[in-house]
Amino acid sequence: MKLVAFLLLYTFLIGLLFQSEGSTNEYLNQSIKYKTCLELAKKNPSEGYASATKWFALDKGIAARHCMAVSIFYSGDNLDGASRLEILERDIPKKQFYLRSQVLAQASQAWLLAGETGRATRLLSKSISLYPYNPEVYLDRATINIDQLKYLQALNDLDQAITLNSNFTDAYLYRAYVKRFMKDLKGALIDLEYVLNNLPGLPLALLERGYIRKLSGDLLGARQDWEQIIKQAPSSEEAGAARVRIKQLDKIALLKVDKVQHIKKDDVLEK
């Protein structure tokens, strides 16, 4: 599952805190404080939690609670982090649909990392129901469905994500993967061409296109994609996978050569 960017929420939460009162300077100070707290939560969760706790003691605010939950999440306690984020969403004003949706998406991520896939999926569905215009959340739910081999559900979510954002390259890449498993190789290649036109040489896209080319019988094209990965990113995971696939192609080539040699030998014996 893609990681939700916790730092993206700070402007929304600060805006929520100071909708009706507070000077511009106060708004800016609190915004900086909140962003700093979230950055500290990621770099040093224990210090981030201590900072958020002191802040919460002063104003009992939602932003401080969010920073506390994020600190716990980054400390590795996914269960507690998920629970706090889920509870936090309930305390956000009902009309703040986008904000509630984003907090639920974060809670879903934490539940997923805690091994609670069903709960994570339910929260993503609730997140979408609150704010059905964020393509990232559809992609998050699609990745869970892919892991569970629910390709049709994943395809529907990826289609919706691309409808909402026609330039969403991540969604095209995942959709190509799904289409491969659904035997739509032409459709998968079209999606990958879009990705590679926007991100030339992307190793993951080249690796996937190599798989599809091999399945389509284009062994030379597959080899070229995988060799390109090894050349431009030799230490990457994709390069490791490409080397394995090239060895498999070499075995196929050797088998074909052996078969041809046997056929020629049989012809000589017959003569």
The reported pTM is: 0.84
- List all residues 6 or more positions away from 94 whose beta carbon is below 8 Å from its beta carbon: 100
Top-confidence range, 20-24, 57-61, 245-249: 245-249
35-51: pLDDT as tens digits: 899 899 999 999 999 99
- Looking up tokens 């224990």 gives 46
Cα distance between residue 78 and residue 4, in whole Å: 14
Residue 60 confidence (pLDDT): 83
Best-predicted range by mean pLDDT (18-27, 101-110, 251-260): 101-110
User: 114 is written with which tokens?
Assistant: 């805690």
**What average pLDDT is seen over the chain?**
87
List the structure tokens of 89: 């969403």
Closest CA to 120 of 105, 142, 136: 105
Distance, first Cα to last Cα, the chain = 63
Quote the CA–CA distance of 200 and 22 in Å, as a whole number.
48
Percentage, residues of the chain above pLDDT 70: 85
From CA 192, how far away is CA 185, in angstroms rounded?
Answer: 10
The mean per-residue pLDDT over the stretch 224-233 comes to 96
63 — pLDDT class (breaks 50, 70, 90): confident
Q: What does the alpha-carbon distance between residue 70 and residue 109 come to, in Å, rounded to a whole number?
A: 11
Between CA 65 and CA 16 the distance in angstroms is 14
Give CA–CA dist 168/56, Å, rounded.
37
